[in-house]
Structure 1
Amino acid sequence: MPLQLNPTFAYELSQAQRPLYGGWVSSGSAVAAEIMAGSGLDMLLIDMEHAPNGLDSVLAQLHAASGYPTSVMVRVPAGDPVIIKQVLDLGVQNLLVPMVSTAEQAAQIAAMVQYPPRGIRGVGSALARSGRWNRVPNYVQEAAEHVCVFVQIETQEGLANTAEIAAVEGIDGVLLGPSDLAASMGLLGQQTHPDVVSAVKSAFAQIDAAGKPAGVNAFDPSAAHDYAAAGARWILVGADVVLMARGSEKLAADFIDQPTTPAAELPSGT
């Protein structure tokens, strides 16, 4: 029976009447991915750049999230054609490529996602989950409709080239990374510094002018709301590992760091 793939995240953004909110899955855990997928967030981003993820664990997380309506994106570790080919063949429909600083880089990445003659993606869908082993009619011919690619601007060079990067054909949107951007600006660890926030908002306007959706990473709630008001179309507002770290710390603070009434002493000899 012919199968139909889900709409891409780019399509979801084009239909949305409000900013879409997502969370990182950085643990490498399929269980965590399923918990996050069932949370009600609009999208998840599985990370291969800064998380302990390889092809097998990404595939397991795709399976875990597949029973939920949440869109799933994968950030690859680099704009490498082999890695991108392998990840797409896993069935990833929404791709994020980090550290893109020029329009030339963006154009090369756009080509990695498309089959010839538009691009350089290797053809192997008959053997792969991407086209569900030839169960998706015309997957090869219509692959451009089934896959979208976003790039991440994280340097001062990238900021200077924002308009040109956003205008590249085949790039569906841009995500701003304030943490690396702050480091590039000499403000390491100060991603909410006014200069960083101002630079991110300036990039939003340029991305919007190119007709593309701008996104941003913002774990601080006040920063997230501020960016939404400034025109961000999608915002990553948390991560599985951060939620677990802060939640477990609160448990420790509530039950260990705070004085409590001593338990009754047990009878001797028990």
Structure 2
Amino acid sequence: MRPNPLKALWAEGKPAFGTWCTLVNHPRFMKLLAACGLDFVILEMEHTDFTIRDVSTLALMAREAGIAPIVRPPGLLSPHDLTRALDAGAQGLLLPNVADAETLERVVKATKYHPRGERILNLRGPHTDYLRLANPAEQIARINAGSITVAMIETQRGLDALPEICAVDGLDAVMIGPDDLSQDLGVPGLLNDPKMQAATERVIAVCDEKNIPWGFSCQDLQAAEKWLARGIRWMPFANDAAVLFNSFSAAATGLKTLSQRN
């Protein structure tokens, strides 16, 4: 079974770099991202029309290409929304809006096999690369260890409960969800507002104290450089729609200028 490359990076104290898949659901896109040298890709199900079939195909191709597929599920209420993505080959989950330790504990129990959790047992599928080891206990341990759990902090409640959230066995990293968090803090979309800056500093302080990798999306190398100096270890860089829009809008503007087209 393929190991999760993020686990090895974090064990060495190194940052992991990826991007979001929100628009392009062609499996070749996974190969392209891997060829670019990224470590992971987030397959977005909360804000897209991607189906479980789309995610299954993309996750399978990502695994084959050597890039870790991480799924953000549409929600946390149904355990099936979580386990189906993992059974489809996801090597981790990005959990939206984790507001308390109890919610995270419930999710971990639903997504980890015995003895940590109660995930429905399935020892042959995309998540095992269709291999079945002779020793079930060894296979279960390897699957549990290889699947990462990233909790998104998107509310004041989540910020307040962060020390308890970080204490849950099975949490691998914390991500700030800036848009929803800014809205909950009363400054929607104002990511440079002092309230958002204070929230970011709280996440960094708590996670550093607990030795939990932390991060958020960065949109350019200047921002990435700033946060790498602070110790960020989970960095989705832009997303497919943003990269396409930024590249082609800059090209269109440049071409019209060169051709003196108004």
Instruction: State whether residues 60 and 88 of structure 2, in contact with CA within 8 Å, keep that contact through their aligned partners in structure 1.
Output: no
Alignment of 1:185-204 (within 5 A): 185-204=185-204
Instruction: State whether residues 24 and 236 of structure 1, in contact with CA within 8 Å, keep that contact through their aligned partners in structure 2.
Output: yes
Secondary structure class of the residue paired with 1:53: coil
Hey, what's the Cα distance between the residues in 2 that align with 1:33 and 1:26?
12
Hey, what's the Cα distance between the residues in 2 that align with 1:251 and 1:120?
51
* 1:131 matched to 2:128: yes
Hey, what's the Cα distance between the residues in 1 that align with 2:258 and 2:92?
49
2:259 maps to: 260
Q: 1:136 to 1:196 in 2, by over 3 A?
A: farther
Where does the alignment leave 5 or more consecutive residues of structure 2 unmatched?
none
Q: 1:143 to 1:160 in 2, by over 3 A?
A: same
2:246 maps to: 246
Secondary structure class of the residue paired with 2:74: coil
* 1:19 matched to 2:6: no
Q: Which amino acid aligns with 2:35?
A: G
1:107 maps to: 105
1:265 maps to: none
* 1:75 matched to 2:72: yes
Instruction: State whether residues 89 and 125 of structure 1, in contact with CA within 8 Å, keep that contact through their aligned partners in structure 2.
Output: no
Instruction: State whether residues 151 and 174 of structure 1, in contact with CA within 8 Å, keep that contact through their aligned partners in structure 2.
Output: yes
1:49 maps to: 46
Hey, what's the Cα distance between the residues in 2 that align with 1:259 and 1:90?
48
Residue correspondences, number? 256
TM-score (normalised: structure 2):
0.88
Which structure: larger Rg?
Answer: 1
Deviations 1:179-223 (A, max 9, x none): 211111111112233431231122112012122111212224433
Hey, what's the Cα distance between the residues in 2 that align with 1:129 and 1:41?
21
Q: Which amino acid aligns with 1:241?
A: A
1:268 maps to: none
Hey, what's the Cα distance between the residues in 1 that align with 2:146 and 2:122?
15
User: 1:130 Cα shift?
Assistant: 1.7
User: 1:102 Cα shift?
Assistant: 0.4
Where does the alignment leave 5 or more consecutive residues of structure 1 unmatched?
263-270
More helix by share: 2
Q: 1:250 to 1:135 in 2, by over 3 A?
A: same
User: 1:70 Cα shift?
Assistant: 3.0
User: 1:29 Cα shift?
Assistant: 3.1
Secondary structure class of the residue paired with 2:2: coil
Secondary structure class of the residue paired with 1:130: helix
Secondary structure class of the residue paired with 1:170: coil
2:160 maps to: 160
Instruction: State whether residues 150 and 173 of structure 1, in contact with CA within 8 Å, keep that contact through their aligned partners in structure 2.
Output: yes
Hey, what's the Cα distance between the residues in 1 that align with 2:86 and 2:213?
22
How much is the aligned-residue C-alpha RMSD, in angstroms? 2.2
Secondary structure class of the residue paired with 1:73: strand
Deviations 1:45-91 (A, max 9, x none): 12111122121111221233234333332211212311111111112
* 1:229 matched to 2:229: yes
Instruction: State whether residues 2 and 63 of structure 2, in contact with CA within 8 Å, keep that contact through their aligned partners in structure 1.
Output: no
Hey, what's the Cα distance between the residues in 1 that align with 2:29 and 2:147?
24
Instruction: State whether residues 8 and 147 of structure 1, in contact with CA within 8 Å, keep that contact through their aligned partners in structure 2.
Output: no
